[in-house]
């Protein structure tokens, strides 16, 4: 009887051993708890782990990219959303569309200035509740219009792509509803485009000086240094001057006094520089007409033809020339409008 029991136990143990031998290949635990299999199972496991790892990595990469794109999207859209939230109508929201919101690369300029192609947001934008009521139909005759009506996009060109940008090296800029405010330490840069290379043009600026200037640039196409053409509308003391230079005619600036202006009051200056046919010589000459507050102050012929090669500045010297610190404007600008003119206009 004992032998029979022992025999049965032996048989059961033999079966268990057989089960173990015919099971999957044995596994071995690593010191960190990972499981490594041998033989073909190891290959399968590695393939599974590799595939799983790739999926996890891909998923993680996609999630990271999604976060980046989402963040970028939120950043790029925030100005538009914020601006739109302050506008009362759908038409106003359309008018306040973002001028630039994705290119945050820094661009360097002659003289050390740099800027990014992103919206110029007023430093006090969140404190303002402005309704942009700009009417494009009122801007006929111009190719560029800086209306300064959206504190979340102060540099917007309402008629095209000639947007103005914040110089990284100057102070942040503030605004009031409908105007941009310069405190004597800030300004906007306009990259050169074919539009501003025109030899004949019209410029109209509505501005309010709040402090007498000393070479204070209001709106200028001022080159770095000498031997380059350019023009400047600036405030010297309480007088408005228009400066023009054609190096083929003369190396120095031709300075023309437009007239005196009062502080803390709005003024409008309009400049027209255009080619006409001389009745005497039958040759093309350039005429300069400058009006201040609706009255013509300058009407003369100029032996010049502008050849602009550098960007423009609003409220400061974007070329960082000598006496750069003196060239800042202090006051407000309601709008700046610029247009190319054809011969005979």
Q: Report pLDDT for 343.
A: 56
Measure the CA–CA gap between 239 and 7, rounded to whole angstroms.
122
Mention the CATH class of domain 144-265+307-339.
Answer: mainly beta
Neighbours of 336 (CB within 10 A): 27
Half-sphere exposure at residue 322, Cβ-oriented, CA atoms within 13 angstroms: 2
pLDDT digits (tens, 9 = 90+) for 23-61: 333 333 333 233 333 333 333 344 434 444 433 343 343
For the chain, percent of residues with pLDDT exceeding 70 = 69
pLDDT digits (tens, 9 = 90+) for 196-227: 998 899 999 999 999 999 999 999 998 888 88
**Poorest-pLDDT segment among 204-208, 244-248, 278-282:** 278-282
Question: Which alpha helices (H) appear in 23-142, and where do they start and end?
Answer: 39-85, 90-95
pLDDT digits (tens, 9 = 90+) for 116-154: 999 999 999 999 999 999 999 999 999 999 999 999 999
Domain ranges of the chain: 144-265+307-339
Beta-strand pair 267-277/312-314: unpaired
Q: Which helix (H) or strand (E) holds 11?
A: helix 2-22
Stretch 163-185: mean pLDDT: 96
Stretch 185-190: mean pLDDT: 96
If one compares 338 and 29, the residue with the highest pLDDT of the two is: 338
Q: Is 0.75 topped by the overall pTM?
A: no
Average pLDDT over the chain, rounded to whole?
76
Residue 85: pLDDT band with limits 50, 70, 90:
very low
Q: Report pLDDT for 6.
A: 42
Burial classification of residue 84, based on how many CB atoms lie within 10 Å of its CB (0-12 exposed, 13-18 middle, 19 or more buried) = buried
């Amino acid at each position: 009887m004992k032998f029979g029991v022992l025999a049965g136990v032996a048989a059961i143990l033999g079966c268990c051993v057989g089960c173990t031998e015919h099971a999957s290949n044995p596994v071995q635990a690593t010191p960190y708890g990972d499981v490594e299999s041998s033989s073909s199972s190891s290959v399968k496991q590695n393939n599974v782990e590799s595939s799983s790892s790739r999926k996890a990595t891909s998923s993680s990469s996609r999630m990271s990219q999604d976060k980046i794109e989402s963040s970028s999207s939120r950043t790029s859209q925030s100005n538009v959303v914020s601006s739109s939230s302050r506008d009362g109508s759908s038409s106003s929201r359309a008018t306040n569309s973002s001028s630039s919101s994705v290119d945050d690369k820094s661009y360097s300029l002659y003289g050390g200035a740099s800027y990014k192609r992103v919206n110029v947001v007023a430093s006090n934008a969140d404190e303002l509740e402005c309704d942009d009521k700009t009417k494009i139909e009122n801007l006929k005759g111009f190719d560029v219009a800086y209306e300064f009506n959206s504190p979340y996009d102060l540099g917007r060109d309402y008629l095209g792509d000639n947007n103005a940008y914040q110089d990284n090296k100057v102070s942040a800029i503030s605004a009031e509803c409908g105007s941009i405010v310069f405190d004597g330490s800030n300004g906007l840069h306009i990259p050169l485009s074919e539009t501003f290379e025109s030899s004949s043009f019209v410029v109209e600026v509505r501005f309010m000086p709040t402090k007498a200037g000393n070479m204070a640039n209001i709106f200028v196409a001022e080159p770095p240094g000498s031997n380059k053409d350019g023009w400047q509308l600036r405030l010297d003391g309480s007088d408005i001057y228009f400066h023009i230079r054609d190096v083929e005619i003369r190396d120095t600036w031709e300075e023309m006094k437009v007239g005196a202006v009062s502080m803390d009051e709005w003024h409008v200056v309009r400049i027209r520089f255009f080619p006409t046919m001389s009745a005497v010589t039958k040759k093309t000459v350039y005429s300069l007409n400058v009006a201040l507050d609706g009255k013509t102050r300058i009407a003369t012929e100029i032996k010049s033809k502008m050849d602009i090669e550098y960007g423009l500045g609003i409220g400061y010297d974007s070329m960082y020339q000598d006496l750069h610190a003196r060239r800042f404007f202090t006051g407000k600008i309601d709008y700046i409008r610029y247009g190319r003119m054809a011969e005979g206009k």
